[in-house]
Amino acid sequence: MDIRSITEDFAVSPQIAPEDIPEIKAAGFRSILCNRPDHEDYGQPLQDEVAEAARAAGLEMRWVPIISGMVTPDAAEAFRAALDEMPGPILAYCRSGTRCTMLWSLTKFDELGGARIVDATRAAGYDMAGLVRQLERR
C-alpha cells in the first residue's frame, strides 16, 4: 500500500482492497473515507466490499464518491462533514490519492492557508499549488 500522510490525522492512498484493512488498522487509522465511485475502473473493489471489511475490523467508513474533475459544492461539504465527524486518524482513498488531497485542500484552505496546504501536500507527493492559486484569487 502507498499511504501518504498529509497531516497527523489525515492521510491519502490509491485504491485499497478489503485485504488491506488489517494493515490500515495496524497503522492506527480509525476511519476510512472513500472518494471513488464504484465502477470507475474495471475490476476495482466495490466500496461495499471495502466498507464491510472495515466495519468488521472496527473502523468507521464513509463513502463520498466524487467523479474525477467534478467536485460539486455538495460533495465538498460532505467531505468536510466526514472530516469533522469521523474519528481520526482518517485514511481517504480514490484512484491515486490526488482527488482526496484536492478535496482536503479545498476544505482546509480557509483554516490553514495556501502556504501550509502546499507544503503539506507537496511533502506527501502531491502538488496543490495550482489549486491554491485558484483559491487565493476567489
pLDDT(68) > 80: no
Q: Please report the DSSP string for 23-49 in residue order.
A: HHHHTT--EEEE---TTSSTTPPPHHH
User: Which pLDDT score is estimated for 1?
Assistant: 84
CB 49 within 8 A of CB 63: no
pLDDT(126) > 80: yes
pLDDT(103) > 90: yes
